Amino acid sequence: MNPEVLLSRIRVVLCRPSHPGNIGAAARAMKTMGLSSLYLVSPKHFPDPEADTRATGAVDVLARATVTSSLKEALAGTAFAVALSARQRDIGPVLGAPRETVARLIAEAAGGDVALVFGNETVGLTNDEILHCQAAVTIPTNPEFSSLNLGSAVQVLCYECRMAAFLEKPPVVEQGVTPFASPVATHDEIEGLYGHLETIMTDSGFYNPEQPGRLFPKLRRLFGRVRLEKDEINILRGILASTQVKTSHGRKG
């Protein structure tokens, strides 16, 4: 696939950025590498003249940026999201190295929109935000000074995206048999499954929303590892729905 198209499908999502200068630096970093789709989740100051100044010739990226109030909204319509994190979380995708993780992101972009998700300058991403992503990446830094600027982190990963998108890929060997697969489920479809699970489990008494514990983080960890397909979402929701129908009308047997 055309590398420019792949790059155009990568959303850069900044969660709760504090400094408008970093938003501008991110826009410039993106544009130099051929990315253009910027999402801002609850930015502290935006629009802001400082963002425009740091963006220099990339103010068009700022002008077209989408502002949302949650990461979930920013990921709507994506099929794959990678969270940047400086540290491994207790529950969450295993941290990968930039090159391998970005190679996977680019491969997923062949199928639709994907996202690179960055946290706040001081506190990073929340555990819940990371659990909305299917993969996590860390940029290796000096253990004695790991304070990578937000704009710099965006620059490094966008650079890796450009390098990966333009990489010559060896042709897949023709095997004669196409293994079964259905299209990958979107973020919205996966969230729909979680919503359905929550209803069923609450109804059955297995889950108490007032004492959520780590049940949903563990379910997100499980299904986050697998890259669910549309067909699989349908099967799982079909199973869930069948137990609902049964209980509404009483036991059949």
- C-alpha separations of 91 from 109, 170, 221 in Å: 26, 35, 7
3-42 positions binding a second copy, by CB under 8 A: 25, 28-29, 31-34
> What does the alpha-carbon distance between residue 189 and residue 112 come to, in Å, rounded to a whole number?
14
Interface with a second copy by CB under 8 A: which range of 73-81, 84-92, 104-112, 183-191?
84-92
Indicate whether 49 belongs to the interface with a second copy (CB under 8 A): no
Shortest spacing between CB 140 and a second copy, in angstroms = 3
Residue of 81, 113, 108 whose CA lies nearest to 10:
113
> What does the alpha-carbon distance between residue 237 and residue 203 come to, in Å, rounded to a whole number?
15
In the complex with a second copy, which residue's Cβ is closer, 69 or 178? 178
Under a CB-based contact definition with an 8 Å cutoff, are residues 28 and 56 in contact?
Answer: yes
Binding mask 165-184 for a second copy (x = CB under 8 A): -x-xxxx-xxx-xxxx----
Indicate whether 213 belongs to the interface with a second copy (CB under 8 A): no
> What does the alpha-carbon distance between residue 218 and residue 237 come to, in Å, rounded to a whole number?
18
Shortest spacing between CB 134 and a second copy, in angstroms = 12
Q: Which of 1, 5, 63, 94 forms a contact with a second copy (CB under 8 A)?
A: 94
Per-residue exposure over 159-170, b if at least 16 CB sit within 10 Å of its own CB, e if not: ebbbebbeeeee
Q: What is the DSSP letter of 76?
A: T
Shortest spacing between CB 200 and a second copy, in angstroms = 7
Q: Which of 2, 69, 122, 205 forms a contact with a second copy (CB under 8 A)?
A: 205
Q: Which of 2, 69, 142, 211 forms a contact with a second copy (CB under 8 A)?
A: 142
